[in-house]
Amino acid sequence: MLEGFGIKTLDDVDVKGKTVGVRADFNSPIDPKTGKLLDYTRITAHAETTIRELVEKKAKVVVISHQGRKGDPDFTSLREHAEILERYFPGRVRFVPDVFGDKAVEEIRSIKEGEILVLENVRYWDGETKNASPEEHSKSELVARLAPFFEVYVVDAFSAAHRPHASLVGFAPVVKHYVAGRVMERELRALYRVRNNPERPCVYVIGGAKAEDTAEIIKSVLGENIADKILTGGLVANLLLHSAGYNIGLENVKILEEKGFLSLEKELKILLDKYKDRVLLPVDLALDIDGKRVEVEVSRLPARGIIKDIGTKTADLYSGLIKNAKTVVMNGPMGIFEDDRFSIGTKKVFESMVSSGAFTLIGGGHTLAAADKLGFSEKISHVSTGGGALIEFLIKGTLPVVEVLKKYGQTR
């Protein structure tokens, strides 16, 4: 059982010789020009933990996953994903271009111990993304066709665990063992540590371009006294500065308006007044003026140009607080890290996280990309595969799939 959650894991089941369904998350960035995978991080995470363990224990492994959303450029087959997976298990991986039809059933019936079958993108079936209860999903075509083969169903897709989709929750009422995989287990252990039992001081670093959840994060981690301080950067900081009454310039306000963030101003102003000593805003910013990095103190705004990073004074201020922390959670870079001129703030934050000796956790696609580009990925205590799932867990302390694991993992 997973401590703190009461969820069954692979430690609680015998998989030898059994056909085991694994809901992984192979969803990966795709090059829009070539259609090829750009990053294998998620595939690797599952391959090196859950799938390898099942293969070594001589289970018959059937992988269910998705890639992209219908209508998006990255909505494509899992054929290449299966080819990447085979690099870890030469000669043991088969791909079937079918989700749950006759071809998929035929291949599942013929699978041998220690082999892996990767089914086609589960979102090719329209019923997958319907938000419904486990009981309703359990009556779907997908579950009706595949569940009879599975004595064990392993949910390992933490990064999709905020979505109650058919392949994530639908097998729970009808399979004998519905358990968390090693990726899910590792993620939940780390998140429990930073949300439910953080060592103090606990500092959250919130940045990036997705500012829509800022109010909920502040209310959760400060209102429940999870974090001691929140440090802000990116569009999150721009929105908070604007909400606090600073004139960040028409160009930067327009960006916030185009993203629909200005509707959050009133609530954020109230939260800033309530937590004025615990939510830190930048004291200076780096703007792109005529192609050059120009730093301007917040008190001297507005200045022409787009805000693209926190300034060095802010970076030094944040670094001092992080170096004295025992727990640091980061979601979102401090600026446009892809441009070396505006990666300074993000780099200094990472440097202070690594040198602090604290338990450090990062998540979100851009944060992971920044850590990789700047050379810090291997130096962080826990690198989360989740984006939306990570944010929702930090806000609510649970996820829809986690609740289903709690309910059905204990009943049989």
Sequence spans of domains, the chain:
10-187+398-409, 197-395
228, 402 Cβ separation under 8 angstroms: no
Nearest to 5, CA basis, from 412, 397, 346: 397
Q: What string of pLDDT tens digits covers the 412 residues of the chain?
A: 888 899 999 999 999 999 999 999 999 988 888 999 988 889 999 999 999 999 999 999 999 999 999 999 999 999 999 999 999 999 999 999 999 999 999 999 999 999 999 999 999 999 999 989 999 999 999 999 999 999 999 999 999 999 999 999 999 999 999 999 999 999 999 999 999 989 999 999 999 998 999 999 999 999 999 999 999 999 999 999 999 999 999 999 999 999 999 999 999 999 999 999 999 999 999 999 999 999 999 999 998 999 999 999 999 999 999 999 999 999 999 999 999 999 999 999 999 999 999 999 999 878 988 999 999 999 999 999 888 899 999 999 999 999 999 999 765 5
- Locus of tokens 């850590």: 371
Does the fold of domain 197-395 match that of domain 10-187+398-409? yes
The reported pLDDT for the residue numbered 281 is: 98
Is residue 97 reached through a cis peptide bond, with omega within 30 degrees of 0 on the bond before it?
A: no
User: Please, where are the H alpha helices in 69-197?
Assistant: 79-86, 102-110, 134-137, 141-146, 166-169, 182-195
**Per-residue confidence (pLDDT) for residue 386, from 0 to 100:** 87
Q: What is the pLDDT of residue 194?
A: 95
- Which CATH superfamily hosts domain 10-187+398-409? Phosphoglycerate kinase, N-terminal domain (3.40.50.1260)
Task: For the domain made up of 197-395, give the CATH fold.
Answer: Rossmann fold (3.40.50)
Q: What is the pLDDT of residue 234?
A: 97
Token output for 154: 């392993």
State how far the Cα of 264 lies from the Cα of 269, in Å rounded to an integer: 9
Cα 310–chain centre separation: 24
Q: What is the pLDDT of residue 369?
A: 87
Count CB neighbours of 266 within 10 A: 11
pTM: 0.90
Residue 48 DSSP symbol: I
Amino acid 412: pLDDT: 53
